[in-house]
Amino acid sequence: MADSGPGIAEAHYARLFERFYRADASRNRTTGGAGLGLAICKSIVGAHHGAICVEPSPPPGITFAFRLPRAAVAEKRL
């Protein structure tokens, strides 16, 4: 998944998947977001034995990639 937003500095990449972490200090509960979205994504992908990561991309924007094992995908079809 990729977006065309302002992007995120690479210094934040290591913490992006932590619960309640916000890379943008100006964001808070009143302006939107709880800092849980990426942590939830990581939990879901992990529950299916997959991996999720952030990949640098040309500004603006950022790219997130995830991989799921083929066996997990095949089980879902049954």
In this predicted model, what pLDDT tens digit does every residue of 15-56 receive, in sequence order? 888 898 877 666 666 666 777 888 999 999 999 999 999 887
Residue type, 18: E
Residue 8 has pLDDT above 70, yes or no: yes
Confidence (pTM):
0.69
State the SS3 of the chain. Answer: CEECCCCCCHHHHHHCCCCCCCCCCCCCCCCCCCCCHHHHHHHHHHHCCCEEEEECCCCCCEEEEEECCHHHHHHHHC
Reduced to 3 states (helix: H, G, I; strand: E, B; else coil), residue 62 is: strand
Q: Given this model, what pLDDT does residue 26 score?
A: 62
Q: Given this model, what pLDDT does residue 41 score?
A: 92
Q: Alpha helices, DSSP H only, in the chain?
A: 37-47, 70-77
